[in-house]
A = this chain, B = another copy of it.
Amino acid sequence: MAKQIPDIVIGRLPVYLRALQQMKQEGRQVTSSQELGERLGISAAQIRKDLSQFGEFGKQGTGYNIEYLANQVREILKVNRSWDVIIVGAGDIGRALAGYNGFSERGFKIRGIFDNNASLVGSKQGEFTISDSKTMKEVIQTSGIKIAMIAVPAGHAQQVADQLVEAGIRAILSYAPVNLNVPAGVRVQNIDPSIHLQRMTYYLE
List B contacts of A103 (CB < 8 A). 193-194
> A179-B15, A197-B108 known; A204 and B93 CB under 8 Å?
no
> A18-B179, A204-B146 known; A77 and B193 CB under 8 Å?
no
* A39 interface neighbour in B92, B179, B200, Cβ under 8 Å: B179
List B contacts of A11 (CB < 8 A). 199
The answer to whether A202 and B170 touch across the interface, beta carbons within 8 angstroms, is no
* A192 interface neighbour in B18, B147, B204, B205, Cβ under 8 Å: B18
List B contacts of A147 (CB < 8 A). 197, 200-201, 204
List B contacts of A18 (CB < 8 A). 177-179, 192, 194-195
Q: Interface stretch among A44-52, A94-102, A115-123, A135-143?
A: A94-102
> A83-B201, A95-B92, A99-B92 known; A196 and B173 CB under 8 Å?
yes
Interface residues of A, count at CB 8 A: 57
List B contacts of A177 (CB < 8 A). 18, 102
Q: Which of A158-202 contact B (CB under 8 A)?
A: 170-171, 173, 177-179, 181, 187, 189, 191-202
The answer to whether A198 and B17 touch across the interface, beta carbons within 8 angstroms, is yes
Query: A residues touching B (Cβ–Cβ < 8 Å)?
Result: 10-11, 13-15, 17-19, 22, 39-41, 76-79, 83, 85, 92-93, 95-97, 99-100, 102-103, 106-108, 146-147, 149, 170-171, 173, 177-179, 181, 187, 189, 191-205
- Pull 20 A–B residue pairs with CB atoms less than 8 Å apart, ordered by A: A14-B194, A14-B195, A14-B198, A15-B179, A15-B195, A41-B181, A85-B197, A92-B95, A97-B193, A100-B193, A102-B194, A103-B194, A108-B194, A146-B204, A147-B200, A147-B204, A170-B204, A171-B200, A189-B200, A191-B196
